[in-house]
Structure 1
């Protein structure tokens, strides 16, 4: 793990922050993580949401939803950090809150440099009449959000952030405060877990409910993949309408997110619940490709990393990497009359994970003040395996 001493640069030189404008600047922006994580054995190169398509060369549709500016920090001539200021125009319109996001934040353990980067975001935000800074959002809640504040010493979960343990200190020292926390919960063989004494009553109730329910649970069909994704988007926008930070997801946004996952998806653990032919619920298990990516080359060329990871994932011996599953995106239409639909999805997913030979599962992100968290703690009072935190500061 990277130590605080390793990450502290010589502070005799002054800190300067420059806006990212040129092709060379963007190349430098991509190099920052390789400096920050050079001694971290758990780091996996690559941003969850691609810098090129989100910040550098956004599509016309992306530009209609979001505007941004990236910055680099130097101490003297040494590169020490980066950040992106983001105005999510959909969020601002949806909530009528004049909020700027910061994201893609990476920095050495250097308070002055971190503060200078955050100051640049604040100045950019004020110039657009925005009065608060929230993050990290890279670039939004749909993709990657939060600072990892517990669980930094283990390999990251697929699709979730990873960072040095001092990041929260850097943000708090700038005056930011926590506004939301998310957790992840790990367990070996979840099918066995739900049959254990703490869950025995709920499992029995679930089996009785399944016997009389009209809900049909089915896996994703590769032959109708695009149709299933379109149904998923409609259900997502309905089910998450009251979720903290929610903004309606457009077809191209979900298509881009799904495209990053499709090469590793196991359709048998991507489940839809249907009632009278209509999709009313969804849960997704994502095989944790990070088990393979952790041993792949740390090339600065993404295509090289991806090809090596896929070779380790699908090649001879790849099965030993496909043992862990992330449980993500579990939701049910609030108007669904069958109130046991979520339980049916979970029990079916756990059974399939067991039958397909996966060894463990990790549910993430679980909102700390949400109903899911309270339900988990009531039935199974285990400590979270990881905790992620989103910060905010008024700048008006």
Structure 2
């Protein structure tokens, strides 16, 4: 397929083709965020693994095309157009997603990049543009529209506040919001009078339940990751935008997080030897990454971050935890598994010396979190939005 160079105003958009182009693609965020003290370099899903040299499994799931925006010969923005074949088959859709979007504060740049995505999608017969997905819900999704002025949560997107305005002025409309919710010392919080009834119910349920809650066993890492993947695909089948996760996808995600995981706060709920529930607490390594070098070489950044995380003084940075991937087998006969996992996680977080948690991404229109908010109504700390627009022929 031939992709022509696109122009909008004085902005020129070109497809990424050469090694030099890919180096420029990776450098764009350093331009966009050079004055943002909260930015942490690096993409959740690696550009090389997804866009430059994808595995056979990745190629079977998605087709991509990356673009760079130039002004006066200098890169000022980037984006990737993504055709997710699994998504289209599952939802009988015809969607081109945009991801890895970064652009300077000029709507003309963002619009030119989105024009390129739309043109690429039309050439493939696609009729809707949506995103951001980088490259999917499993990795990084949504534009941060509230909470841009604080350090990002580990594994979640971060972007300038002007992104939402640029996307909406191109004609994109928000179709789904996800949130994060912060709590200081949740173990103590659930023992307050506000939670007294739920806390007592949880203790009684635990006393009579046959469910066993255990931490992650590093010796069974590969086996447990596969069991989590199978349950994830069952539990999230009705989740907005869900697509089944392959073994290589889940393994890649697990390998990304493994260096910073605390096995004691990654919890498995088992009933008669079968996995029926899972919740993961992820120590917020971003507290260490914020002070690490902003090198363009990922290995240098990662090593310095791990040194700050594991080395002298690291304990004072290991205070915050992201609560992620809370799910339960819908066929499990024990209806108290969610409560068992949450109360156990809160207790372990407290005992391990962490001081706070932030649950993300959360949909407030369903699931266990809705009942929590009924007892403890709080405003979201951050809001992430996924946009969509129907393409004209």
TM-score when normalising by structure 2: 0.97
1:13 CA displacement? 7.5
1:72 aligns with 2:68: yes
Q: Matches of 1:75 and 1:197 in 2, distance apart?
A: 59
Q: Matches of 1:374 and 1:361 in 2, distance apart?
A: 17
The gaps in structure 2 that reach 5 residues or longer are 1-7
**Partner of residue 380 from structure 1, selected from 376, 379, 388:** 376
Q: Secondary structure at the match of 1:298?
A: coil
1:311 CA displacement? 0.5
Q: Matches of 1:185 and 1:271 in 2, distance apart?
A: 20
Q: Secondary structure at the match of 2:42?
A: coil
Q: Secondary structure at the match of 2:340?
A: helix
Supply the RMSD in Å over aligned alpha carbons. 1.1
The answer (yes or no) to whether the contact 2:99–2:131 under 8 Å persists in 1 is yes
1:49 corresponds to which residue? 45
Give deviations 1:300-352, integer Å, cap 9, x for gaps.
00000000000000111111111100000000000000000000000000000
What are the residue-to-residue correspondences of 1:1-396 with 2, within 5 Å?
14-396=10-392
Give deviations 1:341-370, integer Å, cap 9, x for gaps.
000000000000000000100000001323
Give deviations 1:177-220, integer Å, cap 9, x for gaps.
00000010001111001111221111110000000001110001
Counting matched residue pairs gives 385
Q: Matches of 1:182 and 1:200 in 2, distance apart?
A: 28
TM-score when normalising by structure 1: 0.96
1:373 CA displacement? 4.4
2:3 corresponds to which residue? none
Q: Secondary structure at the match of 1:184?
A: strand
The answer (yes or no) to whether the contact 1:366–1:372 under 8 Å persists in 2 is no
Q: Matches of 2:279 and 2:304 in 1, distance apart?
A: 29
Q: Please, which moves more after superposition, 13-22 or 236-245?
A: 13-22
1:9 corresponds to which residue? none
Q: Please, which moves more after superposition, 64-73 or 74-83?
A: 74-83
Q: Matches of 1:20 and 1:375 in 2, distance apart?
A: 47
The answer (yes or no) to whether the contact 2:214–2:267 under 8 Å persists in 1 is yes
Q: Secondary structure at the match of 1:210?
A: helix
Q: Secondary structure at the match of 1:272?
A: strand
Q: Matches of 1:167 and 1:127 in 2, distance apart?
A: 26
The answer (yes or no) to whether the contact 1:13–1:76 under 8 Å persists in 2 is no
Q: Matches of 1:315 and 1:27 in 2, distance apart?
A: 31
